[in-house]
Every structure is written in structure tokens, then in C-alpha cells.
Amino acid sequence: MHQTTLTITHKTLLSPAWWQINLESPKLAEQLAPGQFLLVQCTDPFTAYLRRPVFPMLIGSDQLALLLRPSSDAGLAWLLTRQVGDTLNVIGPLGQGFPKPTEEQHVCLISDSPALEPLLGQMQIALHNGSVVTMALQASRASRLYPISILPIAVELHVATLDGSMGQRGRLTPLLPDLLHWADVVYATGTMSFLHQLNQQATEIRLGHHTQFLYGLWPQQLFGCGLGACLSCVLPTKHGLKRACADGPVFDLGSVMTMSL
Ligand code: FES
């Protein structure tokens, strides 16, 4: 972990609600695993010293990309206004990311959140390893979804929107048993209730024993300092109390006490 200043090299509109900004940093690109995060200083009049956790993905061997959407959070809204040539002060990489997918597995990537960067990073590694990849996404409406048209065609996609504006109307719930039966390993991001639902399904399907099967990214909205100091993110696991920001944010959900999900 170190503090550094990164320059924005590209800013691209991916779809009406999605921007990608690229940051050049060969050193961070070499160190970062999907699911690890950076604390970015987002300087705005209201939150001058509060850093925001962001989850970059790797682009090639020397670039990081941040996916940004319009946000009600003042810091993230400030970040979205940055332009090519601007600099960002960041600390990282922080936390423990997703384990690397091993070769030729059935990999399921699943989320009810638009914050997909860690799963896109896992997707790149899994495809490179020769794995078969399925991605299942849930959102309130089509405009809240990551622009799925730019995903690789090798990825089998399942989409559910609550208003039926894309894919199946409703939630992913009816698909979960089939997806979890098919998968060798599942990587998930999203809300706490979604992780809880996944964990319940995995417990039923794997008869209570599902360690090293379902990995979830702890929601970073629950982070205070993000540096392991304030203890606001502590959760009970079968291996004792853990800090989500420092010991996670990725956890094997089979080892997290169900009361904390
Ligand atoms: S957010 Fe402060 S210890 Fe985790």
C-alpha cells in the first residue's frame, strides 16, 4: 500500500449513464487484484478530506480503469467531473481481493449492483484461464445495468430487471438454483440482502458445506476509514472477528457467520 498521484489519460463515454476513466500506473497495475480497492481523495466543498473507496479494473499491463456513474454522493459526483490531464491522489491497493480463478472451471459472476469492476476483472482472468463464464445481473431497470453490449460474446449472460425493461422481469431468484448447481465457483457483488440470499441458496445446494465456493464482496458503503483503524466494519466469521476493509472486502461467504449477512 502506498499513496501516489495518478494522471487521467482517457475519459470515455461507454453508454448514456456510464463513463470510464483510465489512469496510468504500471506499479499499481502489477499489484492490484480484482476486489482490492483504492481510497481516492475526492476534493469537493463538502467532503474535502473524506476519501472514497473505488474498485479499479486492469486495462492491459499499465492502466487502471474506473467506471463512473452519476451519483448522489458528493465525492463520487466530483470524481465524475474530472477530465483528461487531471490528477487523483490515491492510497492503495487495499484489502484482500477475490482468489484467482483456477483453470477451466465453470465460473458464475453475479450481482444486483451496478458496481461491476471487480467481477469484470475476474471475468478477464477466468476467460484467459479457459474457464466457462456465466454472468447474471439484476437491476431495477435497464439504464441501471452495466452496458452489457460491450461484454465479450464468450460470456453467457442472464439479466433480470424489476420493471422488465431488459431481460427477465423481476429478480434473479428463480435462476439461482440452476446457476449455483452449474457453477464450480461463484463470485458475487451487491447488496447485503442479495449476498444473504445467495448464501442461503448455496447452503441448501451444498448441504451446509460451501467453503471455497461462494465469494462475496462486502458492501463498501459500510466502511468508515477504509484503513483497518476505526473498526466500524467488523464482522463475525468462523475464524473470529474480521475487519471488512482490511481482512476483506472479499470473504468466503461459507465462513461468514450467517447472522452478519
Ligand atoms: S472501515 Fe475502518 S476499520 Fe474498516
Instruction: Give the separation between CA 94 and CA 228, rounded to whole angstroms.
Output: 10
Cis peptide preceding 114, ω within 30 of 0: no
Backbone region of residue 228 per phi and psi (left: phi > 0; alpha: psi in -120 to 50; beta: other values): left
Per residue in 209-221, pLDDT (tens digit) is 678 899 999 887 6
Per residue in 1-25, pLDDT (tens digit) is 688 999 999 999 998 889 999 999 8
Residue 1 in grid coordinates: 500500500
Q: What's the 230 CA to ligand 1 centre distance in angstroms? A: 5
**Average pLDDT score over residue span 31-35:** 92
Domain ranges across the chain:
2-94, 106-260
Q: Is the Cβ atom of 51 under 6 angstroms away from ligand 1?
A: no
Q: Is the Cβ atom of 241 under 6 angstroms away from ligand 1?
A: no
Instruction: Give the separation between CA 118 and CA 136, rounded to whole angstroms.
Output: 14
Instruction: Give the separation between CA 108 and CA 230, rounded to whole angstroms.
Output: 34
Domain 106-260 maps to which CATH number in 1.10.20.10, 3.40.50.80, 3.40.50.300, 1.10.287.1080?
Answer: 3.40.50.80
Q: Is the Cβ atom of 233 under 6 angstroms away from ligand 1?
A: yes
Instruction: Give the separation between CA 211 and CA 115, rounded to whole angstroms.
Output: 24
Q: Is the Cβ atom of 1 under 6 angstroms away from ligand 1?
A: no
Q: What's the 160 CA to ligand 1 centre distance in angstroms? A: 33
Instruction: Give the separation between CA 65 and CA 57, rounded to whole angstroms.
Output: 5
Residue 241 in grid coordinates: 472477528
Q: Is the Cβ atom of 130 under 6 angstroms away from ligand 1?
A: no
Share of the chain above pLDDT 90, in %: 53
Residue 109 in grid coordinates: 459472476
Q: Write down the pLDDT at residue 121.
A: 93
Instruction: Give the separation between CA 251 and CA 91, rounded to whole angstroms.
Output: 22
Q: What's the 54 CA to ligand 1 centre distance in angstroms? A: 15
Q: Is the Cβ atom of 144 under 6 angstroms away from ligand 1?
A: no
Strand partners of residue 243: 234
Best mean pLDDT range from 15-19, 112-116, 167-171: 167-171
Q: Is the Cβ atom of 224 under 6 angstroms away from ligand 1?
A: yes
Q: Which of 222, 41, 259, 116 is nearest to 248 (CA)?
A: 222
Q: Is the Cβ atom of 225 under 6 angstroms away from ligand 1?
A: yes
Instruction: Give the separation between CA 103 and CA 38, rounded to whole angstroms.
Output: 28
Residue reference for cell 465456493: 213
Q: Is the Cβ atom of 94 under 6 angstroms away from ligand 1?
A: no
Q: What's the 174 CA to ligand 1 centre distance in angstroms? A: 35
Instruction: Give the separation between CA 179 and CA 173, rounded to whole angstroms.
Output: 10
Q: How many CB atoms are located within 10 Å of the residue 48 CB?
A: 10
Q: Write down the pLDDT at residue 38.
A: 94
Instruction: Give 49's pLDDT tier (boundaries 50, 70, 90).
Output: low
Where is 176: in which H helix or E strand?
Answer: helix 176-182
**Average pLDDT score over residue span 128-150:** 92
Q: Write down the pLDDT at residue 232.
A: 85
Residue 36 in grid coordinates: 482490492
Pocket test for ligand 1, best of 37, 220, 231 (most atoms within 8 A of CB): 231
Q: Is the pLDDT of residue 82 over 90?
A: yes
Write out the CATH class of domain 2-94.
Answer: mainly beta
Instruction: Give the separation between CA 224 and CA 231, rounded to whole angstroms.
Output: 8
